[in-house]
Structure 1
């Protein structure tokens, strides 16, 4: 049976209030009495309840992390970076997966508030170009620091860590052009999100600078998920005037794209070239060398957590801080143009 404060008080011959002062290191307690209470605590192997302690102090040592897709390796790396910094500062994590659902995100925000967490790191599901009064009201009423990671909230300004998506997609598209491609398809992310808009902008910018027309027939509006990468690649491979290269705007869509390519008995880059946004570790492990834009996902998590800790240590400093990290283009040969 788990020992209680009452058990400790009886065994030590003191009041429950005295035991509470010893546990919370608050108020005056004689050294002799304190040592007696500590000895009993050790003998009874007492472990104070984090929930009970939070009720008395009105806060916990816990932060909330909200991501839209826990199955995406991108967020696995982000969470790893968050966790490393949280451990150093003795902070616990409650992780919530919204499955890209606004209602699930609202539910997660309300749940975390009930848990009396100290702050939140979030990649919001909310559409960057839409107004949602319930969502904004929920955020404003939390009363705790919020740090964004690779996502934006319309009509609200929060500190956050972001990637220079325009630069990354520009360099990827330009690499394809320099390899000899002029017909380059893009599978975008959800176009109501800023990262997807910026990656599309970088793609168009590279084509325009190199004098290549931006053709609507080579633009496919995806949703960051594997299914859209698979579906649109199938369509691309059936086109009469099909492109010689594809740029996919997320790692999961790259996986879907590769699945479709292999099902159609095609090879990369022999039949079609490919560059994706974000690293996919499983491909390199399997010996599949795909060129990609390496977003600093692990560093984003670390920087986001460091930013939140800084806000907490500076009494919820209201100064807005925004960090933009630079991606790196890694060319592994899948961008090559094979003239047939």
Structure 2
């Protein structure tokens, strides 16, 4: 049987209002009476409901976090940064994984709204107009502080923490070009997302800066998943005019790409060069020296949560702060051109 405050009141011989004042530490209660209530709580082994407390205080001390793929180490690092600030602020966190689905993202936002959370950090799934307007309306109707992380929402005026994806991709392609590559394929992320669009822009910008024609046949549209990296790399290897290098737009597709290369007996960089966006620490453990564009993921998560805290302190005077962090190109040899 669940213990309620009525059971405590009966055992202590006091009113429900008195028990409520003791539990919420509000209003005057004689010390002797307080001790009776505390003793009754101990004897009945009563644990106050967090939901009930939130209804009384109209504050849950819970924030929501929405990410596209919790299995991706990139988002794991973002969450780690968020969690450190959440713990330090004595808050709680509800985490939602949308599995790269726009429908699941909208559902998650509605769910968090029903949980009466204080604020949300969201890494948007899509930047396309149709979905974007629905997502924007949903976020604005929540009526709570919102911070975007790693992806933007068109026409929004929310605070956010982003990475310069154009710059990162540009530098990665430039490294390949400096090695002598001119036939460079790119496996993009889900092209309805802003990071994927920006990385493709960086790719094209680097080619144009070196007077290299953009070959649409070398642009392969992935979805950030390992399987798409695997299948698209197989398509690349079957091309008659095969490229000499591949740029993968995220870590999971890099895994799929490497798997396909290994199955075909393709050596990196002797037979195919690679530069990847996002680090995969498991590759370091396996001794695979893959060049990649590193993003300060944990710092991004930490900064996003700090921005949310600022807006939670004074919701009436919340201000928009949009921060763009810089990626770093780390060359480990996989960009080399073996003629």
| Alignment partner, residue 293 of structure 1 | 293
Could you say which residue in structure 1 is the equivalent of 2:78?
A: 78
The equivalent of 1:120 in structure 2 is: 120
Q: Does 1:185 align with 2:185?
A: yes
Aligned to 1:315: 315
In the alignment, what sits opposite 1:6? Answer: 6
Shift of 1:327: 0.9
CA RMSD of aligned residues (A): 1.7
String of CA shifts for 1:283-308, please: whole Å, max 9, x gaps. Answer: 11122221111111111111111111
TM-score (norm 1): 0.94
> After alignment, is 196-205 or 209-218 more displaced?
209-218
Q: Mind listing any 5+ residue stretches in structure 2 that lack a counterpart?
A: none
Mean Cα deviation higher: 98-107 or 134-143 = 134-143
- 1:331 aligns to what? 331
Gaps of 5+ in 1: none
Q: Which of 260-269 and 43-52 deviates more?
A: 43-52
Kept in 1: contact 2:145–2:315 (CA 8 A)? no
CA distance in 2, matches of 1:157, 1:149: 13
Query: What is the deviation of 1:101?
Result: 1.8
Q: Which residue of 2 aligns with 1:103?
A: 103
State the partner residue of 1:165. Answer: 165
Q: Offset of 1:316 from its aligned partner?
A: 4.9
Deviations 1:205-251 (A, max 9, x none): 22222232222222112221222211221121122221111111111
Question: What is the aligned partner in structure 2 of residue 261 from structure 1?
Answer: 261
With structure 2 as the length reference, what TM-score do the two structures score?
0.95
Distance between the aligned counterparts of 1:95 and 1:259, measured in 2?
31
After superposing the two structures, state which structure 1 stretch, 310-319 or 114-123, moved more. Answer: 310-319
- CA deviation digits over 1:114-143, x for unaligned, max 9? 111111111112334445554333222211
Any residues of structure 2 matched to 1:175-324 within 5 Å, and which?
A: 175-324=175-324
Assess, with a 3 A threshold, how the Cα gap between structure 1 residues 327 and 134 changes in structure 2: closer, same or farther. Answer: closer
Give the whole-Å Cα distance in 2 for the aligned partners of 1:157 and 1:68. Answer: 21
Paired residue secondary structure (2:317):
coil
Instruction: Measure how far apart 1:2 and its partner are.
Output: 4.9
Structure 2 counterpart of 1:87:
87
3-state SS of the aligned residue for 1:116? coil
